[in-house]
């Protein structure tokens, strides 16, 4: 089983990106599951279920969702193995700069959007810097100049 972590600021489009990616994996015959980590509430699990994806959600309550992720990763991977998944995707807001949800030898994806502001790359720290893949969403609703500025900021 391959484990992939996806994080990014709230409302950046993580779930939409994951659903599109899962559709591609399913067309290849791969069995995919998702574990969604959030603070107090999420109904994203309903979206995953509608797409035919095995899903679990973990609500961290008073804990940072990323601390909750770290403390539950072993249970999560055991669930994925038990479900005979080819790919297990975890989704978290990645709010904690100390324990952004990246595990060594696990593909780390960071999703940010063009509308998040020019200082976003500086604000989200290791979640962005340590990612193996960065996906920038909502490019269709900003100007070319804004896209080029964000691209320049990410490279620096």
Q: Which of 91, 150, 145, 143 is nearest to 117 (CA)?
A: 150
Q: CA 147 to CA 89: how far, in whole Å? A: 28
Distance CA 30, CA 24 (A): 9
What integer pLDDT is reported at residue 97 of this predicted model?
A: 57
Domain that holds residue 26: 2-155
Look at residue 95 in the predicted model and tell me its pLDDT. Answer: 63
Predicted local confidence at residue 99, as pLDDT: 58
pLDDT at 89: 97
Q: What is the pLDDT along the chain (156 residues), one digit of tens a residue?
A: 999 999 888 889 999 999 999 999 999 999 999 999 988 888 999 999 999 999 999 888 888 777 888 888 899 999 999 999 999 999 987 666 555 556 778 899 999 887 777 777 777 777 788 889 989 888 777 678 776 776 676 665
Check which CATH number belongs to the domain holding 137 and give it: 3.40.50.300
Which tokens is 124 given? 């989200």
Which pLDDT score, from 0 to 100, does residue 74 have?
Answer: 92
Task: Write down the pLDDT at residue 5.
Answer: 92
pLDDT at position 51: 93
| pLDDT at site 93 | 78
Number of domains in the chain: 1
This prediction has a pTM of: 0.85
d(CA 60, CA 15): 18
């Amino acid at each position: 089983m391959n484990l992939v972590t996806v994080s990014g600021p709230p409302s950046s489009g993580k779930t939409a990106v994951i659903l599109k990616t899962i559709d591609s994996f399913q067309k290849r015959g791969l069995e995919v599951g998702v574990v969604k980590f959030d603070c107090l509430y999420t109904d994203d699990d309903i979206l995953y279920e509608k797409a035919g994806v095995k899903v679990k959600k973990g609500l961290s309550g008073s804990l940072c969702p990323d601390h909750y992720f770290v403390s539950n990763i072993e249970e999560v991977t055991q669930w994925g193995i038990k479900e005979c998944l080819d790919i297990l995707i975890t989704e978290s807001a990645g709010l904690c700069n100390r324990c952004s949800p990246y595990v060594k030898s696990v593909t780390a994806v960071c999703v940010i959007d063009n509308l998040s502001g020019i200082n976003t790359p500086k604000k989200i720290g290791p979640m962005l810097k340590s990612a193996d893949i960065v996906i920038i969403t909502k490019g269709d609703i900003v100007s070319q100049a804004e896209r080029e500025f964000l691209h320049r900021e990410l490279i620096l």
